[in-house]
Amino acid sequence: MASAAVLWFGEDMSAVPLRNNKAAASAVRSVTVLGATGSIGDSTMDLLRASPERYQVEALTANSNVEALAKLAIEFDARFAAIADPTRLDELRDALAGTGTECGAGESAIIEAASRPADWLMAAVSGAAGLKPALAAVDRGATIALANKECLVCAGDFFMQRAAKAGACILPADSEHNALFQALGSGNREELVRVIITASGGPFRTWKSADIERATLAQALKHPNWSMGQKITIDSASMMNKGLEVIEASYLFTLAPDEIDVLVHPQSIIHGMVEFSDRSVVAQLGAPDMRTPIAHCLGWPDRIVGPAAPLDLAKIGQLTFEAPDFDRFPALRLAYDALRTGRGRPRFSTRPMRSRWPPSSRARSGSGPSRGWSRRR
């Protein structure tokens, strides 16, 4: 789906349309979902299921769950289905026999699914494996709901520059980045002071360091607020996921490290905030349900009816906040360190690394953001 945008970042082309012109969406939107059987895929398919008259499914993909993929392809009358595991092609063919749905297997089939002519694509393949398919969608100028952090952590500048060159539209689908996406539309780039990404703190928020070291896998997988896939749940327990989100935000919105803060917010109601030069802070709030940010992306530039529970602040009673603990959760410091030293290039250590830079010297000193920073440096 083509879109026009008022540019947020001065003369540089941006693939993230923060100041959109409300271009009319097509009456029926064709959709591809990469990673349809994962947690993000489940939420996306739930939204599609609620409005079958608005969406036509072009392609669906899964990693290895042939049964679930075939079931979805049949339910939504998908034109193409692809399984990443190349040894499962015969199973998928048998499951889809007589349906008219084409199918394929292996990396090339996943890339083919992304290359097919859908207006809107959900990029929810986990890990670096999601980069090539997302780039295939970028190259045809698609509107992409990006739920894969690794595309930007692995290849941020390359990915965003290629998207801008191809005229692709990148819509942040992570709850935190979608919150920033919505809030950033309230001002202009030169008025920005900082963005604030919230974190629940995960299952070990109140644990002592010695107890965290003895934690079991089952304990790490018990996230207090969100229902997610295993990888992101484990990353959340160590706050590595929040570190990846800091790097992702830098590339999505062309932000310097000192323009990105993290705030622990155990209730997971405020998902992101933006502070402007007049000291106004614009926040996006909602129940912790991934269908809300996905619905924002799926309907963009319009808003659609979402199935998440209404936000009842009176029932919640109070919202609390804490500074992140970089000693108990050194992964967050590592992410800031990587962003400062290599624009996302990871640096590994066998023990917690103490950064030479504070994670937000600006926040403590009260000075403004670094205006001379350039993403080309």
Q: Tell me the DSSP string of 317-341.
A: -----B---TTT-HHHHHHHHHHHH
Lowest-confidence pick of 177-191, 292-306, 331-345: 331-345
Taking residue 261's Cβ as centre, other Cβ atoms within 10 Å add up to 20
Task: Give dist(CA 211, CA 199) in Å, integer.
Answer: 20
- Which of the pair, 193 or 215, is modelled with greater confidence? 193
pLDDT of residue 22: 54
Q: Report whether pLDDT(347) > 50.
A: no
- Which of the pair, 227 or 150, is modelled with greater confidence? 150
Q: Report whether pLDDT(278) > 90.
A: yes
pLDDT digits (tens, 9 = 90+) for 212-223: 788 787 877 777
Mean pLDDT (whole number) for 224-241: 73
Q: Which DSSP helix (H) or strand (E) runs through 212?
A: helix 209-213
Q: Which residues contact 106 (CB under 8 A, 6 or more apart)?
A: 84, 85, 86, 89
Taking residue 313's Cβ as centre, other Cβ atoms within 10 Å add up to 10
Q: Is the pTM of this model over 0.75?
A: yes
Q: Report whether pLDDT(245) > 80.
A: yes
User: What percentage of the chain reaches a pLDDT higher than 90?
Assistant: 67
Q: Tell me the DSSP string of 284-322.
A: EE--S-THHHHHHHHHTTS-----SPPP-HHHH-----B
Mean pLDDT (whole number) for 99-115: 97
Best CA proximity match to 346, nearest among 358, 336, 360, 356 = 336
pLDDT of residue 233: 75
pLDDT of residue 15: 87
pLDDT of residue 211: 75
Average pLDDT score, the chain: 84
Q: At what angle do helices 230-238 and 240-253 cross, to 10 degrees?
A: 100
Mean pLDDT (whole number) for 231-255: 87
Q: How confident is the model at residue 30 (pLDDT cuts 50, 70, 90)?
A: very high
pLDDT digits (tens, 9 = 90+) for 316-326: 999 999 999 99
Q: Which residues contact 206 (CB under 8 A, 6 or more apart)?
A: none
pLDDT of residue 169: 96
pLDDT of residue 239: 81
